[in-house]
Amino acid sequence: MRNHLRRLCCVLLIAACGLSVMAAAQESAVDRDARMSWWREARFGMFVHWGLYSGLAGTWKGEAVGDRGGMEWIQQRVKADTWEYAHEAVPHFQPEAGFAEGWAQLAKDAGCQYVVFTSKHHDGFALHDSSVTDYDAHDLVGRDLCKEIVDAVRAQGLRVGFYHSVIDWHHPQYDYDAASSLPHPLHGQPSPNGTRNHAIYLEYLHHQVRELTSNYGTIDILWWDYSKPENEGPFWRADELVAMVRELQPAIITNDRLYAIPNIEKDDSVGRLHQWKPERGDFTTPEQTVPSTGVPGVDWEVCMTMNTTWGYSEHDHAWKSTETLLCNLIDIVSKGGNYLLNIGPKGDGSIPEESITSMRAIGEWLKVNGEAIYGTTASPFEPPAWGRYTSKPGKLYVHVFDWPADGVLQIPLTSGPPQTAYLMATSSRNALRVDSSQKGIVIQVPSTAPDPIASVIEIEL
């Protein structure tokens, strides 16, 4: 009888999963647009990589591991097993009270509309209070850090998401031989605990994701990481995973990294955009590169570091300038994408000064020019050498990086009634002089740029 009941439960569960997979697949274009609308308008988010690696800060047993590249991979770079890694890292991971409020405040000041943070990175350490492991914040520091972060971000009125790694360098049943195309510190060595049963790891993975999407209120994004063609989709029971998440969080938005894009390393990021398929996730994720063009109908988000590492490193001083970061934001938005800009807090949760300075400067710029970013769509015109365009119904925004020495801007707007143009950086909405020419319109601008990085002219069409 008990077996019979168990079988019935299984059938019902599979049917429920099947139904929600179908529901996701059958979502109408209108419903999908409604679900995606806040994300498409948001344009700018803050990524946070933070975990046990943050306290190590790119240093292993007193030696710098390097001054470039992802130090959230330090366990893999020094080829430590999980016990040695935890032994070194745990003493340096000491989050200060209130760290999460600091992150959320910075995201708000920067003008970010959402925050995505690492609920678990490849090292396998969970920031949430998980019932299926001791390798979590609750057991190691006595706090649910996930809850602290989610609450702080929400208190600032921002959307929140989890970056969740399906790769796991901690779990004793994660079968790194089977996951041969994905990184693991023990590759090439026999498993210390004998034959591994990947199915057990998958139960664990699914359980933790269920906890994350059940216990923290509304979660806006699930940002999976990552797959390769040999280890993707079915290898994670991905369809089921996504169906569960969509059932628990019907409005959630997910990226496509549970599924691999073949040959992606040999391709540029436009290739990634072209190969996006809706059944793999809501948006695709060029990493560290800005595609040369957007692709209509494809939702995409560039994720990028401010230096060269995602997780904090005391040795990486290759900081991008505020100018580069702000111009990237404008460039990406002008092509129809979002920008997810990363900070890597230290082991105590504090944020590197360089990141704070750039984030705040972008926020100051957005206070003046935000209308030319939020809710805009890709430019209808080819980008000019001197700047970029973004647009909204009835408006064209001209972002000028190189202010014209002759005080004249030529815009290829040829049709429609006469246009009015204003400088966004001035409080008086004095119209600029606009003349028509054969190639479009000509705007007379003041001799000096109102903004040293990007000045915006709003054109009413």
| Chain positions contacting ligand GLC, by CB under 6 A | 49, 70, 72-73, 225-226, 287, 303, 310
Nearer of residues 27 and 287 to ligand GLC, judged by Cβ: 287
- Least distance (Å) between residue 73 CB and ligand GLC: 6
Nearer of residues 169 and 401 to ligand GLC, judged by Cβ: 169
451 and 425 in contact (C-beta within 8 Å)? yes
- Least distance (Å) between residue 230 CB and ligand GLC: 16
Region class of 449: left (phi > 0), else alpha (psi between -120 and 50), else beta: beta
| Residues in CB range of 324: below 8 A, 6 or more apart | none
- Least distance (Å) between residue 343 CB and ligand GLC: 13
**Other CB atoms within 10 A of residue 138 CB:** 19
Nearer of residues 120 and 388 to ligand GLC, judged by Cβ: 120
- Least distance (Å) between residue 70 CB and ligand GLC: 4
Query: What beta strand segments (E) does 237-393 contain?
Result: 253-254, 301-304, 338-343, 387-392
Instruction: Retrieve residue 406's tokens.
Output: 């002759």
The size of the chain, in residues, is 461
Beta-strand pair 387-392/395-400? antiparallel
Nearer of residues 180 and 218 to ligand GLC, judged by Cβ: 180
In eight-state DSSP terms, residue 434 is E
Chain-centroid distance, C-alpha 405: 38
Instruction: Retrieve residue 131's tokens.
Output: 């019932």
CA distances from 375 to 50, 309, 336, 338, 430 (A): 30, 30, 10, 11, 24
Phi and psi angles of residue 366, each rounded to the nearest 5 degrees, phi first: -65, -30
- Least distance (Å) between residue 282 CB and ligand GLC: 16
Residue entry with tokens 């994660």: 174
Nearer of residues 81 and 287 to ligand GLC, judged by Cβ: 287
Phi and psi angles of residue 460, each rounded to the nearest 5 degrees, phi first: -90, 130
CB neighbour class for 145 (10 Å; exposed up to 12, middle 13-18, buried from 19): buried
- Least distance (Å) between residue 123 CB and ligand GLC: 10
The letter for the amino acid at 74 is I
Query: What beta strand segments (E) does 306-385 contain?
Result: 338-343
149 and 163 in contact (C-beta within 8 Å)? no
Nearer of residues 20 and 285 to ligand GLC, judged by Cβ: 285
Angle, alpha carbons 303-39-146 (nearest 5°): 70
- Least distance (Å) between residue 453 CB and ligand GLC: 26
222 and 210 in contact (C-beta within 8 Å)? no
- Least distance (Å) between residue 302 CB and ligand GLC: 10
Nearer of residues 222 and 456 to ligand GLC, judged by Cβ: 222
> What distance in Å separates the CA atoms of residue 429 and residue 413, rounded to the nearest whole number?
21
> What distance in Å separates the CA atoms of residue 306 and residue 308, rounded to the nearest whole number?
7
Nearer of residues 43 and 49 to ligand GLC, judged by Cβ: 49
Closest of 86, 240, 211, 199 to residue 147, by C-alpha:
211
- Least distance (Å) between residue 274 CB and ligand GLC: 19
> What distance in Å separates the CA atoms of residue 118 and residue 403, rounded to the nearest whole number?
40
Nearer of residues 117 and 365 to ligand GLC, judged by Cβ: 117
Nearer of residues 114 and 403 to ligand GLC, judged by Cβ: 114
Nearer of residues 48 and 362 to ligand GLC, judged by Cβ: 48
Nearer of residues 337 and 384 to ligand GLC, judged by Cβ: 337
- Least distance (Å) between residue 270 CB and ligand GLC: 18
- Least distance (Å) between residue 135 CB and ligand GLC: 18
Closest of 213, 138, 161, 208 to residue 42, by C-alpha:
161
- Least distance (Å) between residue 82 CB and ligand GLC: 17
